[in-house]
Structure 1
Amino acid sequence: MTVISETRLSGAVRTAERVLSSRAGVQVDLTDPVDLGGSGRTDVVRVRVAPNPVTMDRTLVVKVWPVDEPGDAFARELASYKYATALPTPSRPGPHLIAFDHRARVIVLSDLGHGRSMAEMLAATDVDAAHRAVSAWGQALGRMHAATVGGEQDFAALLRHGPDRSTAESLAVHLDTGVALAPEVLADDLGVGDAPEFVEVLRRGAGLVREGDHRAFSPSDVGPPNILLNDDGVQFMDYEWGGFRDATLDIAYACLTCTSAVAPSLAAHRDELVTAMIDAWRSEVQSIWPSLGHDGEMNRKMLVARTLWVWMSTLWMLPVDLGDDSHARGLALRTGDPTVVVGRWRDLAEAGRRVGVPEVADCSAAIAEALDAAWLR
């Protein structure tokens, strides 16, 4: 999380005042700015709306992007908020869009309030509360997916008519690069040797960004730090990587980041928490994707998506030049602790054995041993 300087803080507030005043037709003054942190390239501020003749929320959230960076990420986030705001309220995944200015690269959003973060819930010691929280997480994710099936063309139109006028997706390029490097990294950095079948699983995982049987809207970073639980339920924040992808990428991402965030006191309950999340997600999507009602099919699809995320989280810990958007580094990771990554490979090896995919099980076990020897001994 970054800290905004006083100059940038006041600049964000003044920009939002101008945008809101232009939209409302009267002067709108914003007070009491609070720095909410950002992704590293954005400033995010909560502000209070001073009394004015226009009915407006008491508090708002302002997100400002730097104007000296490429505009594709801002355009994608703006399109994501436009798309999500048009959804029925019960299916809306997070805050709704109030106003924007693409020239100033500012987005004004509804304020979700304070609530409790999913990371906080999983770091506590109450297993029942954690169980309820992850079930709500899975249900909200599935509800969003179910509500957005078939909406990909609408989202693409928002991108085409947005400030960048492009449907290019830097995350897809980032993942493709990471997979293309797999044979080299496996042989030279990890000493695992040739593993073409494992690399093919990675390719299938990366392909889920652009195609797949279960296409739906995804904010992409649906891990605990970007989830708030408030009076309205689970809220997903940060649509910086928003787009349409195969939904199994999201549920795999959620499960992976959930297990990494669970407090040591709840470690014995990790598997049941993940099962609760998956069951809640399936309860929302099974009617539109009946194949996911079959455990074997569900487990195989989850394994492919999970393998991709574990691989990428490992690359983000290695001195590997991915040659693209550095801001994607850290997705699905959120830690510098090597034991987390080693543990993910061991868990993946066990999952590969359970599902009956030896190319994943054997290579994952070998990677776990290589990383353990390099990082932990």
Structure 2
Amino acid sequence: MDSILRSAGELLGTELSDPVDLGGSMRSTVLRCRTAGGGTVIVKSFTDGPEGLRGFTSEAAGLSLRLAGPELLGVDTSVPLVVMADLGDAPSLADVLLGDDPEAAAEGLLTWARGLGRLAAGSVPRRADLASLWTRYGGGATSWEDEPWIGQNAARLLASLAGAGLVMPAGLAGELAGIGAVAAEEYPAFTPGDTCPDNNLLTTEGLRLIDFEAACFQSVFLTAAYCRMPFSTCWCVFRLPSGLAEEIERVFRAEVVAAYPALAEDEVWQAGMRRATVVWTVFATVNMLPRTVEDGPIHRTRRPVPTRRQVLRHRWELASTVEEYPAFAETMRLLLREVAGGWDVPPLPGYPAFSGLRAGPAGPAAAAVPTGSQ
């Protein structure tokens, strides 16, 4: 701790004190520190292992684009660490979704979708800038853009099914290969990489994103899927009221059409969203299924949260309707019968903020053609 404070203080040219641990990840430590002038800054220090160094490079490069996060005040590649402006105690999207004010939660979702869409659209010309910044901050590690994670997850799914003695539908491997060949690169745009509700702050100046440890350019559909599923890789997963998922997807789509006019075509949009749904369902399955042997809360400390079995079953229910890929849809139905059929857990509930409203169905949203920004 003392070493982190000393290095960050030297970087800023001021003494730092009174560190408050804000959490972080297995790769990082996040501290709110007081400056000699009485203000506060956020210091994020990373481990020196391969994943820590990759997280640092992503964070430093992503924040340096100055597109959506807090102001970057300094970078020290030797520690490594970054120092950012303190955005204060603004509520996160998770806070309002888990709260008791449905209007605040709905407005938070719309603010999030609109801000994320504008970020994606405005970032399109900056891909070369991010690559340059990655090299500048120590891009010796494989970037997230170059990581073949979609194909790797597909291979893990096939191995898991075979290991469990489940007979895979004919054509599954070919469908997954075809999806992977397209899904990673179609209509690329910037993302911080982890746009989960707790990483989206609803400040008085608008949406601000935090946690750029997986910042990269990826298909805009992989980001848009967070509206439809919702929150494809996150712990804060419940069902939305009927119609709200469609609305936030429409708002996001209306923004990205400015960068990619072809996305106004329903055929293009819906096909991309179906591919993204498959990608994230495979991701959820290979990462969560081994941990459902003994079910438990999806997050170690946050409450309320659903269980892993509830979330995974909900993902399979949604993906089982993607009939464009019949072998994959049948695989999801197989998992629902042979695996989830033995799970004695209630259905995924709605978000607490909307407890008085009817939750929407498990099936995919059918977004309307966008008519422009709100």
The counterpart of 2:109, out of the listed 110, 134, 142, is: 134
Q: Deviations over 1:124-171 (max 9, x none)?
A: 233322221111111011100111112212211222232234553388
Secondary structure of residue in 2 paired with 1:151: helix
What is the letter of the counterpart of residue 211 of structure 2? Answer: D
Query: Is the 1:19–1:100 contact (alpha carbons within 8 Å) kept by the matching residues of 2?
Result: yes
Does the C-alpha gap of structure 1 residues 261 and 188 become closer, same or farther in structure 2, counting only changes over 3 Å? Answer: same
Q: Deviations over 1:321-348 (max 9, x none)?
A: xxxxxxxxxxxxx975211101111122
Aligned mates of 2:127, 2:17 — CA distance in 1:
38
Query: Is the 1:100–1:106 contact (alpha carbons within 8 Å) kept by the matching residues of 2?
Result: yes
Q: How many residues align?
A: 329
Aligned-pair Cα RMSD in Å: 2.6
The counterpart of 1:116, out of the listed 76, 91, 94, is: 91
1:29 aligns with 2:15: yes
Query: TM-score, normalised on structure 1?
Result: 0.79
Aligned mates of 1:268, 1:307 — CA distance in 2:
20
Does the C-alpha gap of structure 1 residues 32 and 204 become closer, same or farther in structure 2, counting only changes over 3 Å? Answer: farther
Secondary structure of residue in 2 paired with 1:38: strand
Query: Higher helix proportion, which one?
Result: 1
Structure 1 residues without counterparts, runs of 5 or longer: 1-7, 22-27, 53-57, 86-91, 321-333
Query: Is the 2:196–2:236 contact (alpha carbons within 8 Å) kept by the matching residues of 1?
Result: no
What is the letter of the counterpart of residue 60 of structure 1? Answer: V
Query: Is the 1:134–1:276 contact (alpha carbons within 8 Å) kept by the matching residues of 2?
Result: no
1:180 aligns with 2:155: yes
The counterpart of 1:81, out of the listed 47, 63, 68, is: 63
Give percent identity, aligned residues only: 27
What is the letter of the counterpart of residue 244 of structure 1? Answer: F
Query: Is the 1:136–1:234 contact (alpha carbons within 8 Å) kept by the matching residues of 2?
Result: yes
Aligned mates of 1:117, 1:131 — CA distance in 2:
13
Deviation at 1:47, TM superposition (A): 1.2
Aligned mates of 2:165, 2:224 — CA distance in 1:
28
Corresponding residue for residue 248 of structure 1: 221
Does the C-alpha gap of structure 1 residues 176 and 336 become closer, same or farther in structure 2, counting only changes over 3 Å? Answer: farther
Deviation at 1:36, TM superposition (A): 0.4
Secondary structure of residue in 2 paired with 1:261: coil
The counterpart of 2:10, out of the listed 5, 13, 18, is: 18
Query: Is the 1:80–1:155 contact (alpha carbons within 8 Å) kept by the matching residues of 2?
Result: yes
Query: TM-score, normalised on structure 2?
Result: 0.79
Corresponding residue for residue 61 of structure 1: 42
Does the C-alpha gap of structure 1 residues 164 and 275 become closer, same or farther in structure 2, counting only changes over 3 Å? Answer: same
Deviation at 1:40, TM superposition (A): 1.7
Aligned mates of 2:137, 2:288 — CA distance in 1:
34
Structure 2 residues without counterparts, runs of 5 or longer: 292-304, 346-374
Which moves more between the two structures, 298-307 or 201-210? 201-210
Secondary structure of residue in 2 paired with 1:240: coil
Secondary structure of residue in 2 paired with 1:113: coil
Corresponding residue for residue 280 of structure 2: 309
Corresponding residue for residue 327 of structure 1: none
Secondary structure of residue in 2 paired with 1:37: strand
